């Protein structure tokens, strides 16, 4: 098991009720049980300001005109506001913003293409 994730086992007896009689006919007094595994990631979640700065840096480095684009974030959701030159540039901006670590969803509010 990887040391990056810590595994927590929680046994919940009787969660599924008794076993079906045709499945466990040969076993006397058997009960179905449920084993739930929970993984916790110790890596910290990036702050909204860090996500915004990372998106702006990545968009600047990808040769997208950032003069009329505003980036906002709420949690792991990023919204791109403003005008852009074309549909292809809009798609490139959305995919670039989505590739930033910590971004789960990108809302497109870019307009202005011909």
Looking at the structure, do residues 84 and 32 belong to the same domain, yes or no? Answer: no
Within-domain flag for 30: yes
Looking at the structure, do residues 92 and 68 belong to the same domain, yes or no? Answer: yes
Within-domain flag for 1: no
Region of 28 on the Ramachandran plot (φ > 0 left; ψ -120 to 50 alpha; else beta): beta
Q: For residue 101, what is the domain's CATH number?
A: 3.30.1340.30
Q: H-helix or E-strand containing 98?
A: helix 87-98
| Total tally of structural domains belonging to the chain | 2
> Using CA of residue 48, residue 97, residue 76, residue 5, what is the dihedral sign?
negative
Question: CA angle, corner 75, sides to 69 and 78, nearest 5?
Answer: 25
* pLDDT tens across the length of the chain (114 residues): 455 545 444 444 444 444 444 454 555 555 555 555 555 556 677 899 999 999 999 999 988 888 899 999 998 899 999 998 888 888 999 999 999 988 999 999 998 765
Range of the domain at 86: 48-111
Looking at the structure, do residues 52 and 105 belong to the same domain, yes or no? Answer: yes
Q: At what angle do helices 87-98 and 48-61 cross, to 10 degrees?
A: 130
């Amino acid at each position: 098991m990887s040391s990056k994730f810590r595994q927590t086992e929680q046994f919940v007896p009787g969660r599924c009720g008794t076993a079906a009689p045709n499945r466990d006919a040969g076993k006397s007094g058997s009960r179905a049980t449920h084993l739930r595994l929970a993984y916790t990631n110790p890596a910290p979640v990036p702050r909204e300001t860090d996500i915004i700065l990372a998106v702006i840096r990545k968009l600047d480095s990808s040769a997208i005109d950032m003069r009329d684009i505003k980036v906002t974030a709420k949690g792991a959701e990023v919204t791109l506001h403003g005008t852009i030159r074309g549909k292809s540039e809009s798609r490139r901006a959305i995919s670039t913003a989505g590739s930033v670590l910590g971004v789960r969803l990108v809302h497109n509010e870019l307009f202005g293409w011909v």
